[in-house]
Structure 1
Amino acid sequence: MNTSLSKHADMHRLIYLHGFRSSPTSNKASMLKERFEHMAIIDRFCCPQLPMSPLASLSLIQDRYLPTSADVFVGSSLGGLYAHWLAERYGSRCVLINPAVYPSVKLSSYIGSLKAYHSDADLTWSPSDVEELISIESVGLTRPEQYLLLAATGDELIDWRDMQQRYQNAKQLIVEGSDHAFSGFENYIDHILSFAGFLPYLND
């Protein structure tokens, strides 16, 4: 019997939402999964493949995982917007890694056929997907103390100052340099797990 799992059977989950055209095999998702495996609580780590449609992505998370306020949403890039929206809906804690800030304008230039980053899969980004983004991107920030922002000043796609302003009342870690993929992510996993309430498990 795995005593670590049974001891924490009633504990919360970390639900990771990947970015635009990304997947559960991204570097950040893989590193988090490896840490949860090391802690013997892999059943508390959730990281699905998200569809291109923003609303379908939100529905998938809600229907598959039935989130509660105890769960923690972690999102990267566009997944950060999804994590923000879900955290507001469920009153959950939320970690944002170089999150997309009002992304509908920039992503409107990607309409058409695209390639996935981590596979040969063909993807389609449509005008209706952009309209769905518009419908969710202005979500409020009603409990900023429940948010942790990790923003890299070297992000080549999203201006870190826009992220800082959008989440100005949240806890923030502004990382000098790095990039949109958040190179050096392994150095911040403990910050994320501590904020999310998982790090104490390492001391059991």
Structure 2
Amino acid sequence: MILYLHGFRSSPRSFKARVVHQALADAGRAGELICPQLPASPKEAMALALLLAERHAPDNLAIIGSSLGGFYATWLAERLDVPAVLLNPSVNPLKNLEHHVGVTTAWHSDEAFEFRREFIDELAALRVEKITKPQRYYLLAATGDEVLDYRDMVAHYAGAKQHVIEGSDHAISEFPQYVDDVLAFCASRVQ
């Protein structure tokens, strides 16, 4: 099973989530993807992810996390001892999300949601200062990410399998070129 965790203001309808779903469907494995809509509260998001993950962890689960979902995936991977693929992950969302406090909308709908100040504290409680098993991770980072600095990602996941894309963007617009490698990493780590 693969648990896909989307980023901030995103959803299961994100570009990368749809690419993963299509690749699995093309391989006759569509039923192996779990891709929930994560609540705005990091505490609630991780409670939901844990509930979904614990049914399959540790032997039959890999996680893919994008942006804030990569931050979440790291916390879950450390907690459950499962592999994780990180797509332009947020290493320290505390410095990036402070200016998003308030009411906003998701990228894929006009539905409003509130990102509360206390959610910053919830994020702080989930921070993984140093990964414990680099071989558990595969980092896909773009030098052209306009939201997050790829150098922070490379440093945080030192020793992990890493593919740094020259250029590109936060969305990894050419993600279909990399999805097979992402899924192969997941499959190689799941029994």
TM-score clears 0.5: yes
1:68 correspondence with 2:61:
no
Q: Which residue of 1 aligns with 2:44?
A: 56
Distance 2:76 2:128 in 1: 13
1:39, CA displacement in angstroms? Answer: 1.3
Whether the 8 Å contact between 2:143 and 2:168 is mirrored in structure 1 is yes
Q: Which residue of 2 aligns with 1:194?
A: 184
Distance 2:52 2:84 in 1: 19
Q: Unaligned stretches of 5+ in structure 2?
A: none
Q: TM-score, normalised by structure 2?
A: 0.94
Whether the 8 Å contact between 2:3 and 2:35 is mirrored in structure 1 is yes
1:193, CA displacement in angstroms? Answer: 1.1
Pick from 119, 127, 135: which aligns with 2:125?
A: 135
Distance 2:116 2:100 in 1: 8
Amino acid at match of 1:172: Q
1:107 correspondence with 2:132:
no
Q: Which residue of 2 aligns with 1:84?
A: 74
Whether the 8 Å contact between 2:75 and 2:128 is mirrored in structure 1 is no
Q: Which has the higher contact order (CA 8 A, sep 6+)?
A: 2
Q: Which residue of 1 aligns with 2:157?
A: 167
Distance 1:63 1:101 in 2: 23
Distance 2:132 2:52 in 1: 25
Amino acid at match of 2:165: V
Query: 187-196 vs 58-67, which deviates more?
Result: 58-67
1:36, CA displacement in angstroms? Answer: 1.2
Q: Which residue of 1 aligns with 2:19?
A: 31
Q: Unaligned stretches of 5+ in structure 1?
A: 1-12, 199-204
Amino acid at match of 1:187: Q
Q: Which residue of 1 aligns with 2:175?
A: 185
Distance 2:120 2:172 in 1: 25
1:42 correspondence with 2:33:
no
Distance 1:22 1:55, change over 3 A: same
Aligned residues between the structures: 186
1:139, CA displacement in angstroms? Answer: 4.5
Distance 1:140 1:165 in 2: 10
Runs of 4 or more, structure 1, over 6 Å off, are: none
Aligned-residue CA RMSD (Å): 1.1
- Give aligned-pair identity as a percent: 42
Distance 2:184 2:177 in 1: 13
SS at match of 2:71: helix
Q: Which residue of 2 aligns with 1:9?
A: none
Whether the 8 Å contact between 1:111 and 1:125 is mirrored in structure 2 is yes
Q: TM-score, normalised by structure 1?
A: 0.88
SS at match of 1:197: helix
